[in-house]
Amino acid sequence: MPNTLLSEALREAYASAPSDVVILHTLELRHPSFLDDDGQPIAIRVVRDNQDLTARLEAGAPLNAGAMVTFIAMGFDLELPPIDTAPVPEISITLDNASREIVKHLDAASDSQSKIEVTYRPYLSDDLEGPQMEPPFTLVLTEVSADTSRVTGRARMLDVGNKAFPSETYNSLRFSGLTR
């Protein structure tokens, strides 16, 4: 079944593999504790390439929507989940040679109850005016560990099966009719 989220240009690049067009895989990590020196929210943006990338984000991006932003060149790996009956598919993410700044932000995030969000965006080297997947998919990063040479973590889609529905909790304090 074809993936309708991918742009026509990206599907063509995957199918024909032209030598002059490179698919640039990017990750964006966001958390409320990721702040710059002025206290403004920032995102950690990396591209799997040997040089930094300046590209435009989609209009609905959580931070810097529609702006040209820089993705820092860094080796990273995405290990896609196996095809099985797992209720919530997970992927493994590894950032190689993570800088002290990234580790500093991840340490700050570990003290918080908020979740780290990861957005994956593919770009084509000849079209940096927007990601080639609309909308890009966002995952929640869990089980993060860091050592001197890499940061690893597991990311999963929103666990819809364990989400309360309706999202309101009925209790006897707010709904007195529940008590006898």
**Tens-place pLDDT, residues 128-149:** 999 988 888 888 888 888 777 7
Q: Residue 76 and residue 64: Cα distance in Å, rounded?
A: 23
pTM of the model as a whole: 0.77
Q: Residue 176 and residue 35: Cα distance in Å, rounded?
A: 44
pLDDT tens digits for range 35-54: 888 989 999 999 999 999 99
Confidence (pLDDT) at 28: 93
Are residues 56 and 64 in contact, defined by beta-carbon separation less than 8 angstroms?
Answer: no
In a domain, 1, yes or no: no
Confidence (pLDDT) at 51: 94
How many independent structural domains does the chain possess? 1
Confidence (pLDDT) at 69: 96
In a domain, 81, yes or no: yes
Confidence (pLDDT) at 54: 96
Residue stretches of the chain with pLDDT short of 70: 1-5, 17, 80-87, 158-167
Domain that residue 142 falls in: 8-158
In a domain, 178, yes or no: no
